[in-house]
Amino acid sequence: MLKVDVITLFPEMIEGAVSHGVLGQAVKSDLLSVKAHTPREFTEDKHRTVDDRPFGGGDGMIMLAEPLKKTIEKVQHNTSKVVYLSPQGRTLNAAIAKEFSKEEHLIFICGRYGGIDQRIINEYVDEELSIGDYVLSGGELGALVIIDALARFIPGVLGHGESAEKDSFSDGLLEQPNFTRPREFLGQDVPEVLVGGNHKVIGEWKDKVSALVTLKKRPDLFREYIKVETEKYNSLKKKKTAAP
């Protein structure tokens, strides 16, 4: 079972978010463990100080190294992967979420204010990860986005037969439009093929429309998809011609 420890000044943000929906069910079924830990627990001054002004001046406060060090060392063991949520990291995508879902133990450090003391990054952080090119008020939302995205790749988390492998992006394409009852709404009908019951034709329709949606909305993804599929085709062809 993948164990996730989140280091944050707001544990209740994490605990609340992972007690609902698919994540809540995954935790309840022991498919995933998510615990939150606050560095404030490791402060010794009466104001329980966790941040201070940056050397060299500048806006914002920086999270102090000592409380972070104690919190990391409380949860860390030899198979831990320590990830710092920061705009300076590589940007999350489905492939990274899938990669993370295979880890044994993830420790997410959520910065607040202007970030954390660099010496913590130098000493403990295996990689920085970003959820996008913008600065948030804290890394907690980043940690939750990653936890939600990786959980879908843990077997058993999604419903029976469902899989994140079929999610948008996982196969390189966006998903086709979805419909449910009623058959007609706002003068718009559900595509006839989807109510025809022929699963082969429905599957072909979904594949075709998924490619068209991707071409229209994300031509960059579509080009990558064509490149990957062409490489797969060529290597298959090479194997066939090489086989005796």
Ligand X SMILES: Nc1nonc1C(=O)N[C@H]1C[C@@H]1c1ccc(S(N)(=O)=O)cc1
Nearer to ligand X, 32 or 109 (CB): 109
Structure tokens at 107: 């420790």
Minimal distance, residue 56 CB to ligand X, in Å: 13
Q: Are 7 and 72 in contact (CB under 8 A)?
A: yes
Q: Is 236 helix (H, G, I), strand (E, B) or coil?
A: helix
DSSP string, 119-155: HHHHHH-SEEEESSSS--SBSHHHHHHHHHHHHTTST
Binding residues for ligand X, per CB under 6 A?
85-88, 111-112, 114-115, 130-132, 134-136, 138-139, 142
Burial 154-164 (b: 16+ CB within 10 A, else e): beebbeeeeeb
Minimal distance, residue 233 CB to ligand X, in Å: 37
Nearer to ligand X, 67 or 142 (CB): 142
Minimal distance, residue 166 CB to ligand X, in Å: 27
Minimal distance, residue 106 CB to ligand X, in Å: 14
Nearer to ligand X, 58 or 156 (CB): 58
Nearer to ligand X, 85 or 120 (CB): 85
Report phi then psi at 23, rounded to 5: -65, -45
Residue nearest to ligand X (CB): 142
Q: Are 151 and 25 in contact (CB under 8 A)?
A: no
Minimal distance, residue 112 CB to ligand X, in Å: 6
Nearer to ligand X, 87 or 191 (CB): 87
Minimal distance, residue 235 CB to ligand X, in Å: 36
- ∠ CA 142-143-147, nearest 5°, is 120
The Cα 94–Cα 169 span in angstroms is 6
Structure tokens at 168: 């948008």
Which residue in 36, 35, 34 sits closest to 9, CA to CA?
36
Nearer to ligand X, 86 or 176 (CB): 86
Nearer to ligand X, 136 or 213 (CB): 136
Q: Quick one: CA dihedral 126, 129, 135, 141, positive or negative?
A: negative
Minimal distance, residue 192 CB to ligand X, in Å: 44
